[in-house]
Amino acid sequence: METVKTISRLADLINQAKSIVVLDGAGVSTESGIPDFRSPKGIYKKDYEYRPEKVLSHNFFMNQPKIFYEYYKENIVHIDAKPNPGHIFLAELEKQGKLKAIITQNIDNLHQLAGSKNVIELHGSIYRNYCVKCHKKYDIDYILNNIEPIRCNECNGLVKPDVVLYGESLENDNISNAIKEIVKADLLIVAGTSLSVYPAADFVRYGKKTLLMNLSRTSSDIYFDYVFYGKFGETCKAIQEIIDWHK
């Protein structure tokens, strides 16, 4: 493991790569004003009647949808958030042909808003919702403009966000597609994640060359070829100012 201490060294690693895949988590969106989960100011540190793992579970949603949606709207949905320099940099990397895919654990749609096209959403998106009974689809406005518990306007079934809750499994297609993209890449960049959620945390072992960009150390640092500590968006903005797109 090499600790990368300069922006120029990061730019060199990106310049040298011809096929990059990014696996990211909540830390990439914190600079857009969206709180992460496990940092000192994260959602898990809030004083609430229920632990996030409980209220954001499938069982809790089915049994107490009113409380679920109250918590979900207050803590998870951030429709006013805008892409930060990290999202914009990755969209530019894709436009230049270097970045082949983003595998995200985030559900905020900020990569797509920044212009990225090939985004694998492991945990779904707040912008997609559906009736658990008749499967009618609903947008985010329907969720925000209705009173909890939110029900289908056709069959009165519960409307569920198309996000992976605790107790639910990731889609097999997303997992297999993510692994395929990583195997093909010559550089895997893991950004803004504590790598404490599986199976995403296990994806690192498929990377040929691996770089971790995170605000602080993780228990998985030793598994990377390179590590860099700092804010992702701020770091990407600095890289973008010096990178040679023609290499």
User: How far apart are alpha carbons 99 and 109 in whole angstroms?
Assistant: 18
Helix axes 7-16, 232-242, angle to 10 degrees: 70
Shortest CA distance to 18 belongs to which of 103, 120, 93?
93
Q: How many angstroms separate the CA atoms of 70 and 28, rounded?
A: 25
123 is catalytic: yes
Contact 153, 183 (CB under 8 A): no
Q: Which of 58, 123, 135, 246 is catalytic?
A: 123
The closest alpha carbon to 26, from 52, 62, 2, belongs to: 52
Q: Rounded distance, CA 180 to CA 9, Å?
A: 27
**Quick one: tokens of 59?**
């069982």
53, 56, 60, 62: CA torsion to nearest 10: -150
A 10 A CB-CB count for 222 gives: 8
Which residues belong to the active site? 123
